[in-house]
Homo-oligomer: A and B are copies of this chain.
Amino acid sequence: MTSSPSGPHPPGGLAVLPVPGLGEIRRGDDLATLIAGQVELLDGDVVVVTQKIVSKAEGAMVPIDPDDPDDRLRIIESESVRVLRRRGDLVISETRHGFICANAGVDLSNVERGWAALLPEDSDRSARRIRDGLRAATGREVAVVVSDTFGRPWRKGVVDVAIGCAGLAAVVDLRGTADAMGRDLVATEVCVADEVASAAELVMGKAAAVPVAVVRGVDPDWLRRGSVSEEILRPPAEDLFR
A residues at B contact (CB < 8 Å): 4-7, 9-18, 20, 84-85, 87, 92, 99-100, 109-113, 149, 152-161, 170-172, 174, 177-181, 183, 185-192, 194-196, 198-199, 201-203, 205-209, 213, 215, 218-219, 231-234, 239-242
Contacts and interface: CB of A to CB of B under 8 A. Distances in A.
A3 to B, nearest CB: 11
Contacts of A154: 99-100, 233-234, 239, 241-242
Nearest to A52: B180
A232 B10 contact: no
B157 A194 contact: yes
A156 B231 contact: yes
Given A207-B174, A207-B179, A159 B198 contact: yes
Nearest to A92: B240
> Binding site of A, secondary structure by majority: helix, strand, loop or mixed?
loop
Nearest to A160: B195
A15 B12 contact: no
Contact of A14 (B12, B84, B181, B203): B203
28 contacts: A10-B15, A14-B14, A16-B16, A85-B241, A99-B154, A109-B179, A110-B179, A110-B180, A112-B181, A149-B188, A153-B242, A154-B233, A155-B191, A155-B194, A155-B232, A156-B233, A157-B171, A158-B188, A158-B191, A159-B190, A177-B206, A179-B206, A179-B207, A190-B201, A195-B198, A198-B199, A199-B202, A205-B219
A85 B188 CA distance: 20
Given A13-B17, A153-B242, 12 more contacts: A13-B16, A13-B18, A15-B15, A109-B181, A153-B234, A153-B239, A153-B240, A154-B234, A174-B206, A195-B198, A195-B201, A241-B241
Copies in the complex: 2
A16 B14 contact: yes
Contact of A199 (B14, B20, B149, B171): B14
Contacts of A6: 10
A172 to B, nearest CB: 8
A14 B15 contact: yes
Contact of A195 (B199, B241, B242): B199
Contacts of A192: 157, 202
